[in-house]
């Protein structure tokens, strides 16, 4: 039974305990929800006004138009672009927080933060075309923050956002400009989507989808700036050896799980935990404080500091069922509201921190950048207090953890390649792609979903692509899956990589001082860090003088579920990348929208969605796409 729900080995220990304790998990609720609403699955349910809800009969017998006259194409298109708007809002709100924090640091207002990576800040300034000559670090930070915040303020429709302009190939920008889908202002574009999808507004599915693509590109803009400014503030990732899965929770430590997305909170919690370690020991925790990560906050601190990852999305509740998490500190996004109830079943303090993200039953510690240290101290003290209430008889920490070598940002990938060719670091990568040692590159991203046995599609696809010599990058819960299942190890490279891929990864890893190959899948970070993968692709495309839609590059979200994944997938398509989805998107109630996203997009943008629920077939299809692209390049 367990294996149908999840392939995470720690679930086999913990699900029976959940049952015994009377705790319902995401999988219980999924089962209770069956059968799920078919109209919703097809995207033909419209709740945009309250003459409705309306739904279109997919079999053609019942109503083909809603009460206002909207047909399935209009309804599906409106629904999907509202998802994009929500996803873009989440990512760019995260980005805005980081940009405002950078501004605060520049102005000396935020004692908890500093510019930890000055070189990165300078590189970002150069990228944004900001002159830094004779400027000190605070002045550069101020100028970078200003240029970034313009992406939320610019009112000139013809002037694209600064970050997107600095982040794509020239050809791609021209192509997107010609379609009028380059965003000029993240907030405005999101607002436009909400406005044009009101009752009685935009009814043209093509026009709606183009508006959605613009929203998705605003999402991309928000991600680029979130990633790069976080690097400047908190450090740029470099390879680090750590571990993943629930076995990283320690029986004799005060365990604090940081969960959500935004590093502004988790970074300070990590720092303060170090300072309060002695207090935890005094409370009886002989291993002091142990921070573990969940979801993308987990990925952020994992790639920057080697903090171990306890869980990806679907196993967040299992972390609590170990009975050994003393505090779960959450910020924004992907936090199941059920965690407060489960925490209450045990001794766990579930702590919300963001004014706009509260959960009934959780403790709220208001987090503001200005008073971050105080809040973090309160959070850590709450965890130590909770630890004192922990019942050791209810502790069940599964004995599963895997080593994971993580932290492959653009800088570290280029740095590793530079050990082979210092003058022209990209050359070895390009050579190996051209000669076929590496057939292509696949970026795995996105969530877990209860529609797929947790992690199974990620792992199945990765093993097949590896055997076929595809270089793999990963972010988000995809990265979490691979880390938990041991695919971010050198052993995995030796076991699963095809011969030529193995040879390349070994050559790079060895010359970069790793004493063996690079791991089979390179962990690039959180969801916003998908922008890192694009940066690598843009560098390769620029060097070859081609556009992104010519590269043997594919993306896959085999277990996607979040509206954010809809936004990411759509910009991926807009950048020219064939993008696989392994869960059924809620658009199939409109043949027109489905065709737009899976076929017309190919002509307009070069990228397109490819939906395949079977991970084996999906891998085959991506391999075919890669070969087609190679042919196009004549390699
Ligand atoms: Ni942002 S969005 S479930 S945590 S990847 Fe994980 Fe990643 Fe999806 Fe959420």
- Model pLDDT for residues 73-132, shown as the tens digit of each residue: 999 999 999 999 999 999 999 999 999 999 999 999 999 999 999 999 999 999 999 999
Dihedral over Cα of 138, 307, 368, 130: its sign:
positive
What length does the chain have?
A: 635
Distance (Å, whole) CA 218 – CA 213:
9
User: The tokens of 40 are what?
Assistant: 């919703």
If asked whether residues 498 and 428 sit together in one domain, one would say yes
ω into 109 cis (within 30 of 0): no
* pLDDT at residue 3 greater than cutoff 60: no
* Within a domain: 163: yes
CATH number for 204: 1.20.1270.30
What are the residues facing 255 on neighbouring strands? 290
**In-domain check, residue 4:** no
Does ligand 1 come within 6 angstroms of the Cβ of 564? Answer: yes
Mean pLDDT in residue range 44-66: 96
Q: Is 295 in the pocket of ligand 1 (CB under 6 A)?
A: yes
Residue 631's nearest CA partner among 537, 535, 552, 540 is 552
Q: Tens of pLDDT along 147-172?
A: 999 999 999 999 999 999 999 999 99
Average pLDDT value over all residues in the chain:
97
Overall domain count for the chain: 3
CA–centroid distance, 236 to ligand 1, in Å, is 21
Evaluate whether residue 251 is within a structural domain: yes
298, 299, 347: which is closest to 320 by C-alpha? 347
What is the pLDDT, as a whole number, of residue 493?
98
CA-to-CA separations, 225 to 104, 159, 295, 484, 531, in angstroms, rounded? 16, 17, 20, 28, 9
Q: Are residues 220 and 149 in the same domain?
A: yes
Please check whether residues 187 and 252 belong to one and the same domain.
Answer: no
Does 43 reside within a domain? no
Question: Is 562 close to ligand 1, i.e. is its CB under 6 Å away?
Answer: yes
The CA distances from residue 285 to 251, 255, 294, 387, 574, in Å, are: 9, 10, 22, 8, 51
Residues 6+ apart with CB under 8 A from 372: 110, 112, 113, 264, 265, 268
Note the ipTM here: 0.91
Pairing of strands 289-294, 609-611: unpaired
Neighbours of 278 (CB within 10 A): 10
Residue 606, φ and ψ in degrees, nearest 5: 90, -30
DSSP state for residue 117 in the 8-state scheme: -
Running DSSP on this structure, what letter comes out for residue 397?
-
Residues 452 and 576 grouped into a single domain: yes
169 and 255 both lie in a single domain: no
What is the structure's pLDDT at 4?
83
Say yes or no: CB of residue 261 within 6 Å of ligand 1.
yes
Q: What pLDDT shows up at residue 1?
A: 41
Q: How confident is the model at residue 231 (pLDDT cuts 50, 70, 90)?
A: very high
**Percent helix, strand and coil across the chain, each rounded to 5?**
55, 10, 35
Whether residues 294 and 222 share a domain: the answer is no
Q: Count of H helices and E strands in the chain?
A: 28, 16
573 and 477 in one domain? yes
Residues 349 and 454 in one domain: no
Cα 313 to averaged position of ligand 1 atoms, centre (Å): 6
Q: Which CATH number characterizes residue 491's domain?
A: 3.40.50.2030
Q: 46: closest CA among 632, 485, 586?
A: 586
Residue 624: how many other CB atoms lie within 10 Å: 13
For ligand 1, atom 5, the nearest C-alpha belongs to 447
Residues 453 and 474 in one domain: yes
Does residue 447 line the site of ligand 1, with CB under 6 A? yes
On whether the CB atoms of residues 197 and 78 are closer than 8 A, the answer is: yes
Pocket flag, ligand 1, residue 528 (CB < 6 Å):
no
Q: Are 255 and 319 in contact (CB under 8 A)?
A: no
- Give the pLDDT score at 2: 42
Tokens 């750590």 sit at which residue?
A: 242
pLDDT value at 27 more than 70: yes
Q: 346, 371, 394: which is the final residue of a domain?
A: 394
Q: Which of 394, 417, 434 is the last residue of a domain?
A: 394
Overall average pLDDT of the 607-614 stretch:
98
Q: In 3D, which of 625, 592, 594, 587 has the Cα closest to residue 44? A: 587
Q: Which of 342, 368, 394 is the last residue of a domain?
A: 394
Asked if the structure places residue 471 within a domain, the reply is yes
What separation in Å is there between the alpha carbon of 557 and the centre of ligand 1?
Answer: 11
Q: What is the mean predicted confidence (pLDDT) over 221-234?
A: 98
Q: Is 129 contained in some domain?
A: yes
Q: Would 284 be classed as within a structural domain? A: yes
Half-sphere exposure in the Cβ direction for 219 (13 Å, CA): 35
Which three-class secondary structure state does DSSP give residue 560?
coil
Cα distance between residue 480 and residue 448, in whole Å: 10
Tokens 């292509």 sit at which residue? 440
313 C-beta closer than 6 A to ligand 1: yes
Residue ID of nearest Cα to ligand 1 atom 8: 447
Pair (351, 477) in one structural domain: no
Per-residue pLDDT averaged across 464-474, rounded? Answer: 98
The pairing of beta strand 54-55 with beta strand 309-311? unpaired
Report yes or no on 64 lying in a domain: no
Which residue range is the domain that position 612 belongs to? 402-633
445 and 583 part of one domain: yes
**What proportion of the chain, given as a percentage, has pLDDT over 90?**
99
Same-domain pairing of 229 and 250: no
Query: How far, in Å, CA of 72 to CA of 456, rounded?
Result: 33
Residue pair 442/412 in contact by the 8 Å Cβ criterion: no
- pLDDT digits 0-9 by tens, 482-508: 999 999 999 999 999 999 999 999 999
- Please give the share of the chain, as a percent, with pLDDT higher than 70: 100
């Amino acid at each position: 039974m367990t294996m149908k729900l999840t392939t995470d080995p720690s679930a086999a220990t913990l699900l029976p305990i959940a049952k015994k304790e009377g705790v319902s998990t995401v999988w219980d609720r999924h089962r209770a929800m069956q059968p799920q609403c078919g109209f919703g699955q097809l995207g033909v349910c419209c709740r945009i006004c309250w003459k409705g809800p309306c739904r279109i009969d997919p079999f053609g017998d019942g109503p083909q138009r809603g009460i206002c006259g909207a047909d399935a194409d209009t309804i599906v298109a409106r629904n999907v672009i509202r998802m994009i708007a929500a996803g873009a809002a989440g990512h760019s709100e995260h980005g805005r927080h980081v940009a405002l924090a950078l501004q605060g640091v520049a102005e000396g207002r935020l004692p908890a933060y500093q510019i930890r990576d000055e070189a990165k800040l300078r590189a970002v300034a150069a990228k944004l075309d900001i002159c830094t000559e004779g400027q000190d670090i605070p002045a550069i930070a101020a100028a970078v923050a200003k240029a970034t915040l313009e992406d939320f303020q610019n009112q000139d429709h013809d002037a694209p956002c600064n970050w997107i302009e600095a982040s794509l190939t020239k050809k791609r920008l021209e192509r997107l400009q010609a379609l009028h889908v380059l965003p000029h202002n993240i907030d405005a574009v999101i607002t436009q989507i909400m406005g044009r999808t009101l009752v009685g507004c935009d009814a043209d599915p093509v026009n709606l989808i183009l508006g959605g693509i613009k929203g998705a590109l605003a999402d991309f803009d928000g991600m680029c700036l979130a990633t790069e400014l976080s690097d400047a503030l908190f450090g740029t990732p470099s390879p680090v050896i750590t571990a993943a899965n629930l076995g990283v929770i320690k029986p004799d430590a005060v365990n604090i799980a940081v969960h959500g997305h935004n590093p502004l909170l988790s970074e300070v919690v990590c720092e303060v935990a170090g300072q309060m370690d002695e207090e935890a020991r005094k409370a009886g925790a002989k291993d002091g404080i142990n921070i573990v990560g969940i979801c993308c906050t987990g990925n952020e601190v994992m790639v920057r500091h080697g903090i171990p990852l306890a869980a990806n999305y679907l196993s967040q509740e299992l972390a609590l069922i170990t009975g050994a998490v003393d505090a779960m500190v959450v910020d924004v996004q992907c936090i199941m509201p059920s965690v407060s109830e489960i925490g209450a079943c045990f001794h766990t303090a579930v702590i919300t921190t963001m004014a706009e993200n509260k959960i009934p039953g959780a403790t709220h510690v208001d987090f503001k950048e200005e008073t971050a240290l105080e809040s973090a101290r309160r959070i850590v003290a709450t965890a130590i207090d909770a630890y004192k209430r922990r019942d050791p008889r209810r502790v069940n920490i599964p004995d599963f953890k895997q080593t994971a070598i993580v932290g492959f940002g653009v800088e570290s990938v280029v740095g590793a390649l530079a050990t082979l060719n210092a003058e022209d670091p990209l050359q070895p990568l390009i050579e190996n792609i051209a000669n076929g040692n590496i057939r292509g590159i696949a970026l795995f991203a996105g969530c877990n979903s209860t529609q797929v046995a947790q992690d199974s599609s990620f792992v199945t696809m990765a093993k097949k692509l590896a055997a076929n010599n595809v270089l793999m990058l990963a972010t988000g819960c995809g990265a979490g899956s691979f880390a938990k299942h041991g695919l971010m190890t050198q052993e995995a490279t030796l076991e699963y990589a095809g011969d030529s891929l193995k040879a390349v990864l070994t050559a790079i890893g060895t010359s970069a001082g790793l004493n063996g190959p690079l791991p089979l899948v390179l962990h690039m970070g959180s969801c916003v860090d998908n922008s890192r993968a694009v940066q690598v692709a843009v560098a390769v495309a620029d060097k070859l003088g081609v556009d992104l839609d010519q590269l043997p590059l594919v993306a896959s979200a085999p277990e996607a579920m979040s509206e954010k994944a809809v936004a990411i997938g759509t910009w991926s398509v807009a950048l020219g990348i064939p993008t696989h989805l392994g869960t059924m998107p809620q658009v199939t109630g409109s043949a027109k929208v489905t065709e737009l996203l899976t076929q017309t997009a190919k002509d307009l943008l070069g990228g397109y969605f490819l939906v395949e629920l079977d991970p084996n077939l999906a891998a085959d299809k991506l391999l075919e796409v890669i070969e087609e692209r190679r042919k196009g390049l004549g390699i």
